[in-house]
């Protein structure tokens, strides 16, 4: 159990401080009251806070999908949330998930909301999931949100499986090809350096051969240094993108990537439209719905644009006007939202828009997956062709001049 540091007053009015162990903050306060102490502040110790932030365990997406579906079904059947979590904890076959559900159930039993309990396990429940659960709790449609999260996870896993399946063969060929090229660059190409020395002195050595020999020399002389620099750059990049500024820049760059950026933007907009439409359909006021649904997009840039739109809506503008000025939403989407507002049918329009965007994006993803294999094969063929040409051209030139 975690440790809590406290500042409290005795019956005499004297302030005392210390630490105590309790299952939750509520239990810690009860423990102080049992000692005739009036709590002024109670908080986790630094060590317990670090353990709480790093204690979350990763759980496979397939187990999480089953968990979301089962929890949704239980809640739809009228089973209380606490009892549903207990049942899922007892029947879970995954030890990591079982441990996480147990902690979430204990926090819910202490009065913590489900989304706040899930937020304490960032390695298990991502930001988008927690945001959607929060929206479901506030809008009174948690069962539907959980079902939507499960469907989204299934779609993600299906997409990941298609991409992985399509890439196995070309990646295998590329790895083998790069291994062969590396061996050639380290042991085979240097043997040609002496042969091409006379052409190099005359300045008649082709640029491709000169480049190939330079790369070979760099790998032989600075191979370990280059490898260390690449690994260091990767670690630094990952650390940067995990920061607040880096995450924001990453979301901005995602939207600008050719082809892929459009797909990611459509998926984010579809999630926002579906969440906003569902909230409005369940009677949640539009301002509150906008502030909840903006997090469902999963993109900081889009969330900021939607947040600004919410501020403008509060001043009396229609939703379409600020969304249009943000530049993050397509013209046809803005027109459909404007028509939905005029017809007082915005919630159904938004859900329809989400369905259309998801279908359109799914077709684009399927096309992209089919193009991956020939694209990777083309890259590998280009590398191998460059090496062969760089070695054969000067050899053929020397044989003609001989």
Tell me which residue of 171, 154, 141, 146 sits closest to 60, measured CA to CA.
Answer: 154
Gap between the Cα atoms of 358 and 296, Å rounded: 15
Sort 397 into a burial class: Cβ within 10 Å, 0-12 / 13-18 / 19+. middle
CATH no., domain 126-402: 1.20.81.30
Give residue 72's pLDDT: 92
Domain positions in the chain: 3-54, 57-125, 126-402
Q: Which long-range contacts (CB under 8 A, 24 or more apart) does 380-384 make?
A: 380/170, 380/173, 380/174, 380/177, 380/178, 383/177, 383/178, 383/181, 384/177, 384/180, 384/181
Tell me which residue of 328, 284, 285 sits closest to 306, measured CA to CA.
Answer: 328
Q: Which long-range contacts (CB under 8 A, 24 or more apart) does 144-150 make?
A: 144/72, 144/278, 145/278, 146/68, 146/69, 146/71, 146/72, 146/75, 147/68, 147/69, 147/72, 148/274, 149/68, 150/65, 150/66, 150/68, 150/69, 150/72
> In tens digits, what is the pLDDT along the chain, a chain of 402 residues?
567 788 888 877 788 888 877 756 667 787 787 788 878 777 767 665 555 544 456 788 888 999 999 999 999 999 999 999 999 988 888 888 888 998 899 889 988 899 889 988 888 888 778 877 887 887 788 898 898 888 878 877 776 777 677 678 777 877 887 788 778 778 877 777 777 777 777 777 888 888 888 888 888 888 889 889 989 999 998 888 878 788 888 888 888 888 778 888 888 888 888 888 877 887 778 887 887 777 777 788 888 888 888 877 776 677 888 888 878 888 888 888 888 888 888 888 988 888 888 888 878 877 877 777 788 788 888 888 888 888 888 878 777 765
Give residue 232's pLDDT: 93
Q: Same topology for domains 57-125 and 126-402, yes or no?
A: yes
Longest Cα–Cα distance of the chain, Å, equals 108
pTM of the model: 0.64
Give residue 229's pLDDT: 92
Tell me which residue of 322, 320, 272, 317 sits closest to 292, measured CA to CA.
Answer: 272
CATH no., domain 57-125: 1.20.81.30
Question: What tokens appear for 318 in the block?
Answer: 């229609």
Supply the Cα-derived Rg of the chain in whole angstroms.
29
Q: Is 57 left (phi over 0), alpha (psi -120 to 50) or beta?
A: beta
Q: What is the 3-state secondary structure (H, E, C) of the chain?
A: CCEEEEEEECCCCCEEEEEEECCCHHHHHHHHHHCCCEEEEEEECHHHHHHHHHCCCCCCHHHHHHHHHHHHHHHHCCCCHHHHHHHHHHHCCCHHHHHHHHHHHHHHHCCCCHHHHHHCCCCCCCHHHHHHHHHHHHHCCHHHHHHHHHHHHHHHHHHHHHHHHHHHHHHHHHHHHHHHHHHHHHHHHHHHHHHCHHHHHHCCCCHHHHHHHHHHHHHHHHHHHHHHHHHHHHHHHHHHHCCHHHHHHHHHHHCCCCCHHHHHHHHHHHHHHHHHHHHHHCCCCHHHHHHHHHHHHCCHHHHHHHHHHHHHHHCCCCCHHHHHHHCCCCHHHHHHHHHHHHCCCHHHHHHHHHHHHHHHHHHHHHHHHHHHHHHHHHHHHHHHHHHHHHHHHHHHHHHHHC
């Amino acid at each position: 159990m975690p440790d809590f540091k406290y500042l409290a007053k005795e019956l005499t009015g004297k302030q005392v401080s210390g630490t105590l162990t309790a299952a939750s903050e509520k239990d810690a306060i009860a423990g102080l009251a049992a000692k005739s102490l009036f709590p002024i502040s109670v908080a986790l110790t630094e060590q317990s806070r670090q353990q709480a932030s790093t204690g979350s365990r990763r759980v496979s997406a397939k187990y999480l999908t089953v968990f979301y579906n089962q929890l949704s079904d239980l809640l739809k059947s009228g089973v209380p949330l606490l009892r549903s979590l207990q049942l899922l904890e007892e029947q879970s076959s995954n030890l990591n998930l079982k441990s996480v559900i147990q902690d979430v159930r204990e926090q819910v039993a202490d009065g913590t909301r489900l989304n706040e309990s899930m937020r304490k396990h960032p390695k298990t429940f991502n930001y988008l999931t927690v945001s959607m659960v929060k929206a479901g709790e506030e809008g009174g449609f948690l069962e539907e949100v959980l079902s939507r999260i499960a469907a989204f996870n299934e779609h993600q896993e299906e997409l990941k499986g298609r991409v992985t399946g399509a890439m196995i063969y070309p990646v295998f060929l590329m790895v083998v090809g790069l291994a062969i090229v590396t061996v050639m660059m380290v042991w085979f190409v240097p043997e040609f350096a002496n042969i091409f020395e006379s052409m190099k002195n005359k300045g008649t050595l082709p640029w491709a051969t000169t480049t190939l020999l330079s790369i070979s020399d760099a790998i032989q002389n600075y191979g370990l240094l280059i490898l260390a620099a690449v690994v260091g750059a990767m670690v630094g990049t990952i650390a940067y993108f995990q920061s607040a500024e880096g995450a924001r820049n990453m979301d901005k760059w995602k939207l600008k990537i050719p082809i892929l950026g459009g797909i990611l933007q459509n998926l984010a907009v579809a999630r926002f439209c579906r969440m906003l439409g569902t909230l409005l359909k369940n009677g949640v006021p539009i301002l509150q719905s906008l502030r909840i649904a903006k997090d469902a997009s999963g993109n900081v840039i889009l969330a900021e644009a939607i947040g600004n739109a919410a501020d403008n809506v509060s001043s009396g503008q229609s939703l379409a006007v600020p969304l249009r000025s943000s530049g993050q939403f397509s013209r046809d989407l803005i027109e459909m939202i404007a028509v939905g507002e005029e017809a007082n049918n915005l919630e159904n329009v938004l859900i329809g828009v989400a369905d259309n965007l998801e279908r359109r994006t799914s077709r684009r993803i399927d096309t992209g997956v089919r193009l991956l294999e020939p694209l990777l094969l083309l890259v590998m063929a280009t590398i191998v062709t460059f090496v062969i040409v760089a070695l054969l051209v000067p050899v053929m030139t020397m044989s003609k001049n001989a």
